Amino acid sequence: MPEGHSVHRISRQFDRNIVGLAVHASSPQGRFAEGASMIDGRTATQVRAVGKQMFLEFDDDVWLRVHLGMYGAWDFAGEIVVDPTIASANGRMGQTNQRGTAVEGAVMDSAGENSLTSIGAPRRARVRVRMSEQTTGLNDEDLEWPPPVVGQVRLRLLTEITCADLRGPTACELQTPDEVAATIAKLGPDPLVDDIAEGEERFAAVVARKPTPIGQLLMDQSVVSGIGNVYRAEILFRAQQNPHTPGRDVPGEVVRGMWRDWVRLLSVGVETGQMMTMDDLSPDRYRKAMASRDDRHWVYHRAGLPCRVCGTTIVVEEMATRKLYWCPSCQT
DNA sequence: TATGTATGGTAAC
DNA sequence: TTACCCTACATAT
């Protein structure tokens, strides 16, 4: 369930647990057997996340490109270094098992949001982690090593102590350095990869000459990286923009404002693991939001419900084959 | 328990 | 334009 923030979080986990180590690679499902055999035995040397794609480099200029698509997921298991920000976003993560034998170091309790966050440094814990917005604690059956393969695992990467399983990706392939560069070159700016000011220039320049509706441009990964259907709807609402306005007709300062908003939202998303788009509310708007319903979004998935700001019914329509939610009154 | 939908993108038609 | 990847979750039964 990844928009850009998820991929950057996954990349962090690879950086902490895989990079610098030799891996045993396999394709239990069989569909990436050839690629896995090419990786097998090599050392991971660096990881990069750009937009919704992740690139993992191995010895001898062998790169793995992964795009999770809609269903893809990485599951980490074994003894992993837990990112404190990831731990803080998941109350159940790092839970000790009943026997209490499998956990090393200080681990947060089942209530979450305590020790790991406050320590501010990664700790080792033996856990099973789904790299989306949910994690599971440790059960006795998870102690088996290597972990039993469950379901369709396209690629398994094993170090001495860590297991990373990839399921259901849209893309999982090996690339040469030139191919990696070409793939990245086709992508629009990513606030966590590119210089913020340069990214703003690139984004604004492209939007300024496009007749395409701004609602489509925000989803176009060659225009800006990492924005998906949720962030698109929310950014448009926060900027009070009609999704149908041609890019070139959106005031330049508004376009730049949307980039800067994405910079902020992505940062929040990476730190919290959640697409929180109602963060910087004015006190008045905040009260209204809290009074209406326990939800994280302004308009996403709220078709038929009253706008949190003006009460107008939120509408849904198809744009670029995806559902677009917006407020016809606030977004003009 | 079964069904429908989804945060994405590519390839085949 | 459609199939597909083949998971997770919400909702219906």
Give strand letter and number of the nucleotide nearest A31 (CA to C1').
C5
Cβ of residue A3 lies below 7 Å from strand B: yes
Q: Is the distance from CB of A23 to CB of A155 less than 8 angstroms?
A: no
Cβ of residue A184 lies below 7 Å from strand B: no
State residue A118's pLDDT score: 23
State residue A278's pLDDT score: 83
Strand B, nucleotides < 7 Å from a protein CB: these are 6-10
Which of A80, A83, A70 lies closest to A147 in space, CA to CA? A80
Cα gap A155→A153, rounded to integer Å: 6
**Positions 150-179 in A, CB within 7 angstroms of strand C:** 151-152, 154, 167-168, 170
Residues whose CB is less than 8 angstroms from the CB of residue A99 and which lie 6 or more positions away in sequence, other chains included:
A140
Cβ of residue A70 lies below 7 Å from strand C: yes
Give strand letter and number of the nucleotide nearest A170 (CA to C1').
C5
The letter for the amino acid at A202 is R
Where are the domains positioned within chain A? 4-184, 187-326
CA/C1' separation A35–C12 (Å): 42
A138 CA to centre of own chain: 24
State residue A172's pLDDT score: 92
Cα gap A167→A151, rounded to integer Å: 8
Q: Is the distance from CB of A19 to CB of A44 less than 8 angstroms?
A: yes
Burial class (CB in 10 A: 0-12, 13-18, 19+), A197: exposed
Cβ of residue A230 lies below 7 Å from strand B: yes
Tens digit of pLDDT at every position of chain A (332 positions) = 578 888 999 999 999 999 999 999 999 988 899 999 999 999 999 999 999 999 999 999 999 999 998 888 898 888 887 665 554 433 333 332 222 222 222 222 222 222 222 223 344 555 666 664 344 555 555 567 888 888 889 999 999 999 999 998 889 999 999 999 999 999 999 999 999 999 999 999 999 999 999 999 999 999 999 999 999 999 999 999 999 999 999 999 999 999 999 999 999 889 887 787 886 666 665 555 544 444 678 999 899 989 989 999 999 998 888 999 999 999 99
Cα gap A329→A313, rounded to integer Å: 9
Residue nearest the C1' of C2 (CA based): A321
Residue nearest the C1' of C6 (CA based): A168
CATH 1.10.8.50 correct for A187-326: yes
Query: Beta partners for A80?
Result: A125
Strand C, nucleotides < 7 Å from a protein CB: these are 2, 5-9
Return the CATH architecture of domain A4-184: Alpha-Beta Barrel (3.20)
- If one counts every other C-beta atom within 10 angstroms of the C-beta of residue A275, the result is 21
Structure tokens at A208: 């300024």
Give strand letter and number of the nucleotide nearest A325 (CA to C1').
B7
Cα gap A101→A107, rounded to integer Å: 12
Cβ of residue A274 lies below 7 Å from strand C: no
Report the DSSP pairing between strands A44-50 and A53-58. antiparallel
Structure tokens at A91: 């109350």
Unique residue bearing structure tokens 């929310």: A234
State residue A91's pLDDT score: 33
CA/C1' separation A170–B9 (Å): 7
Residue nearest the C1' of B11 (CA based): A170
A4-184 and A187-326, same CATH topology: no
Which of A48, A47, A18 lies closest to A156 in space, CA to CA? A18
